[in-house]
Amino acid sequence: MPLTTQATPTTYWLEHAWLGSHVEPGVTLETADGRITAVRTGAATPPPGATVLRGLTLPGLANAHSHAFHRALRGTVQVGSGTFWTWREIMYSVADRLTPDSYFALARAVYAEMALAGITCVGEFHYLHHAPGGTRYDDPNAMGQALIAAAADAGIRLTLLDTAYLSSGFGAPPDRHQLRFSDGTAEGWAQRADALKEDREHVRIGAAIHSVRAVPAGQLGTVADWARERQAPLHVHLSEQTAENDACREAHGRTPTQLLADHGALGRRTTAVHATHLTDQDIALLGGSTTGVCMCPTTERDLADGIGPAARVQGAGSPLSLGSDSHAVIDLLEEARAMELDERLRTRTRGHWTAAALLRAATADGHAALGWGDAGTLETGALADLTTIALDSVRTAGPLPRLAAETAVFAASAADVRHTIVGGRQIVRDGVHTLVPDVPAALAESIAAVRG
């Protein structure tokens, strides 16, 4: 049964709740029509008829950057060595084999895995638009519609970041793998993207510039304007590799960040993904325009990309969000922990972010980056999207309950997620997905179907 809002009023009793700044014991939370209608503290015991959520309940986690089909690469790309660019060739081989039906099955399983990890909303950076060779499906958005249907069946919210991907590099035509990504021109991309509608409660439509490599400079403004006119999120891969920076300077005499700024692509609705290799001027441009930055530490270290200057861009004015990107693992708690620990390794100092700040990146700021400003907090009026983390597992047992936020960020993992609630409806109950009966089997079957 696909995602629908829980219309029936429901009362939840939270043994411990993270209320944005602190952990509060004994919280009663009431929901109706998919939203939180009341939050009451001081409830030492569950009221009659309440659904009991033992552990630490947080707002649902927002995975701000996903490529669902990359999940099929887990394990495979760990054989031997190589670079980002050799990894990309393996990724293309999986992309070549996907159809709307096989992509639906794979994404449904991946989004169900996300629900089990406490993720209630995902931003899907979607560029796999057409059939191999670039042939259009009868429905030009068949692949995007498959993702929308997959998220509904898995019970989570989706921001479909429909991606313009037009070039193999600074004006060069797409290679044979990339033909199915391309709409020819940004105007062609916009025409196809116009047909996507926010006609289901779990979905919102945004835009993405794959990278300054993949969208010619003269067409960046078309994508930015499309998003601006619709007040939609705009995401972009930015300076993930030093090779991108070098090629951009050679082609345009400026950095990718400067190029985006020159074409009106930065701003408060824009999120730069990775932002690993930035100059001081780049950081000032991102922060000064309040452009968000999405860090994906597990992918960035898996691909040996480097450690992005997350603390500096946030200090300059950029809100931070988190993503699992290539899904080397799907664990937003690990992404939050890794951002702090990577910064410790780089600087050899501790305490760059509090647990509360890291949780905000994984919740409220992640949802805002995806266009869901009404989610990510446990407050009256917010969407009733919650996740509960066990405090009695081998990883989390022992610390005082008042330290539950620190325990969640620095010790817990996705395996400790006990419950996930979306729109007031329980999607994961006691660690079991209520809509996809056997998530491991769904993953194994859907990945086998696209394996070479």
Could you list the active site residues? 274, 325
**Residue 192 half-sphere exposure toward CB, CA atoms < 13 A:** 26
Q: Please say whether the dihedral angle defined by the alpha carbons of residues 323, 83, 306 and 286, taken in this order, is positive or negative.
A: negative
Strand order in the sheet with 234-238: 61-66, 119-126, 157-164, 203-209, 234-238, 270-274, 292-295, 320-322
Contact 274, 238 (CB under 8 A): yes
Q: How far apart are CA 394 and CA 407, in angstroms?
A: 12
Q: Which of 269, 238, 298 is closest to 78 using CA atoms?
A: 298
- Cβ–Cβ under 8 Å, residues 311 and 343: yes
CA atoms of 385 and 425, how far apart (whole Å): 8
- CA-CA distances (angstroms) from residue 402 to 233, 281, 330, 408? 36, 41, 27, 11
Scored b (16 or more CB within 10 A) or e, 132-143 reads eebeeeeebbbb
**CB neighbour list of residue 329: distance below 8 Å, 6 or more residues apart:** 298, 414
**Rg of the chain in Å (alpha carbons):** 21
The span from the first CA to the last CA of the chain, in angstroms, equals 32
In contact, 315 and 290? CB cutoff 8 Å: no
Distance CA 25, CA 33 (A): 26
Instruction: Tell me, letter by letter, the H, E, C secondary structure of 25-88.
Output: EEEEEEEECCEEEEEECCCCCCCCCCEEEEEEEEECEEEEEECHHHHHHCCHHHCCCCCHHHHH
Beta bridge partners of 438: none
Residue 20 backbone class (left: φ over 0; alpha: ψ -120 to 50; beta: rest): left
**122, 156 contact by CB (below 8 A):** yes
